[in-house]
Structure formats: C-alpha cells, structure tokens
Amino acid sequence: MFEHGSLLLTGLLVGTLARAFMLKIDYRQFPSYPHSYAIHLTLGMIAALLGALAVPVLLEKEYIAITFLTIAAQQFRDVRSIERESLAEIEKTELIARGEAYIEGIAKLFEARNYLALLSSLITGLIYYYSSWYIAVLAGGITAFLLHYFMKGPVVGDIAKIEVVDITVKGNNIGIDDLIMMNIGEEEALRKWRTEGVGIRIIPVDENARATLANLGQRQAILHDLGILMGAKLDEGLQQYTPMARLDIDSSILNIIFIPLEPDRIFIKKAVERIPVLESSQHKPLKDKIGRKAAD
Amino acid sequence: MDFSNILAIITTEINRNKVSGGVPIFITESIKEMEEVSSLLARLTLGMVHDLGNGIKVIIRH
C-alpha cells in the first residue's frame, strides 16, 4: 500500500462508521430506506476521506492542498439545500405539514453530520500518526460519540409541562377552557370533536420556553410529529378535523386540539414530551439582562 | 397560512334578508336542509362549514 495508505483507510472507516451510526430510522421516517441511506452514507464516506486526507497532506507540508477542505464545505452546503428542496417538495403531500422551520432544522442536521464525520476521521488520522491504530480507532469513536451526544438538542418535555385535558364545546365553538380555537358549523363534526377530541396544554417552564413555544414553526413541528406518533383522524377536504395549536396570550400556554387515532392519554403526553425543540425556534430572552429583569 | 375565502353562504327562508352580496347564497327551507346542504357544499368545495350563530352558515376554505 502507498504511503499513509493505512492511515487513510482507518480514518475513512471510522468516519464512515460515525456517519452510519448517526443515520438511524426513527418515527420521522427520514431519511428513507434504502435510497437516502445510500446517498448519505456515500456523502459521509467522502467527508471521512477528506478528513483523513488532511493529515498526510499536512505531514507532507503541502499546505495549499488544504483548500480542498473548502470544497468539502461547499459540497456539504449543497447537501443542505438538496435536503431542503426535496423536503419542501414533498411537503404538499403531507396531511399535516412539517413547516419550514422543521425542514430547515432537518436540512441543517444533515449538513452538520457530514462535518462530524469529517472531524472524526481527522482526529482518527492525527492520532493514528502519533500512536497506534487501535488508539486512533478508539479516539475516533469517542469523538463521534461525543459530537453526536452534544449535538442533541432539547425536547419539548425539557422546556414545558404537558397536560392532556378534555376539550370544551360551547355552542359551535370548541377550545380548551376559556380559549376558543375553532368554530364548527357541522353537527357531525361537532359530535366527533365532543366524543373523540383531545386537548393538550403545553405550559412553558420559564421565559425562554415561552418565547420558543410561541414560535409558529415550533407549533407546526409539534402538530406534525403528534400526527405521526398518535395518528390524526384527518383527510383532504376534511378541514373541520384539522389539528390546531393556539397560544393563550395571557398565560402563554400553548393549547392543542386534535382527534387522535390512538386516544391513549399517557402516550399522548409522552409523545409531546419527546418532540424536538427546533434550533431555529429557540429564543433566549433570559440570556439578556433586560429579559431577566423584565421576567421577575 | 394562505388567506381564507368565503365560498358560499347558506341560510333559511326566515333569515333571507340578513344576507346579500357577491357570494353564492343558498336559501333552504328548514334547519335540516341547511345542515345537509352546508355539509355537502363543504365536501364539494373542500372548504369548511362555520356557524355564525344567527342561523347563517358560511363555507370557508382555509
């Protein structure tokens, strides 16, 4: 094998495995199996190879060659826009839309994971050069794990208390407690809401959570994930059964009404708790002095 | 969210003088007929029935 060949190979393997480890199918069913898997594994492999390649290049003092890393960065930015475009394209086929903020979050995640693969293989390569292959593999694995661990964002359960409640029906209006959320003119639809409708109150724990939950993208993401996890009785042309999320502007509590396919209240609560908080919808007024003072 | 649009108004004979304008208006003979006509119209137009509470129903596409 040519010089540094085994270093490259080790870096490539660790980086690709790191990317594969981060590709997992969950309830969001994204990326789809097996085609998106093939795409992202291949891109991850390229990222890993570039990361591993950076080490011998530096050792040979070919500093100009480091510019190919910028090409890699460009390539990963393309990954983000490809993901964004394809998700925006299939958005029309979703009964409950993901929303632009959620799509942006997913696209960003796919870009970032390529960098993580690149960094893992870079570290593996460096350590391989200065010590032995097994320490390098171990260090690369630990890097991938740590990076993946710290990339995990908060979930709704971390920033809010969730209550599953009954919905209230007042005449033709439905809502939760005093908050009117929807006017329904059909007897049949009202009956369905009265018998099967479930209300959720998401109570923010602090001012940061209040600002985050008020974000429209975050609300749409909650509705989308809830519709997937618990199922929603909904079809095209049946707007009267559309799930709704409305803010109680006095208390900042986010109220959700929907008709679940699985009316199991314990699991509805658990489902809402594990929905991710979107990166782009996070606001932190408490990080500022004014925000903190205004909050007391 | 795109803008919402009133597609039709359905009411009964008694409330006839409460409605007018450039939207299709359906005058029905009984509450039961109003209920049926509004449901059907909502299905046909992919809209949603809202009840204004004064004997008038409107179909709105959200």
Judging contacts by C-beta atoms under 8 Å, the chain B residues touching residue A183 are: 50-51
B43, B51, B58: residue with CB nearest A237 = B43
Parallel, antiparallel, or unpaired: how do β-strands A160-165 and A168-170 relate?
unpaired
Residue in chain B nearest A184 by alpha carbon: B50
Contact B38 A185 (CB under 8 A): yes
Burial of B27 (0-12, 13-18, 19+ CB in 10 A): middle
**A150, A160, A175: which is closest to A275 by C-alpha?**
A160
Q: Which domain holds residue B48?
A: 5-61
Question: For position A190, what pLDDT does the model report?
Answer: 93
Question: Over the stretch B14-50, which tens digit does the pLDDT of each residue have?
Answer: 998 998 888 999 999 999 999 999 999 999 998 999 9
Q: Quick count: other Cβ atoms within 10 Å of Cβ A15?
A: 33
Q: How many domains does chain B have?
A: 1
Q: How far is residue A15's CA from residue A45's CA, in Å, rounded to a whole number?
A: 7
**Residue among B35, B49, B58 minimizing CB distance to A240:** B49
Distance CA A164, CA A162 (A): 7
ipTM (interface pTM) = 0.85
8 Å CB contact of B50 and A236: no
The tokens describing A154, both together, are: 């908060």
pLDDT value of residue A217: 94
User: pLDDT band at B1, cuts 50/70/90?
Assistant: very low
Q: How far are the Cα atoms of A13, A203, A211, A254 from residue A247, in angstroms, in the given order? A: 49, 10, 11, 5
**Shortest alpha-carbon distance between residue A244 and chain B (Å):** 13
Confidence (pLDDT) at A30: 66
What pLDDT score was predicted for residue A275? Answer: 93
Mean pLDDT, consecutive 10-residue stretches, chain A (296 aa), reads 81 90 71 79 91 87 84 88 90 91 90 90 92 91 89 91 94 92 92 94 94 94 93 88 93 94 93 92 90 85
Structure tokens at A224: 């989308």
Q: Which residues pair with B8 in a beta bridge?
A: B59
Q: What pLDDT does A71 receive?
A: 85
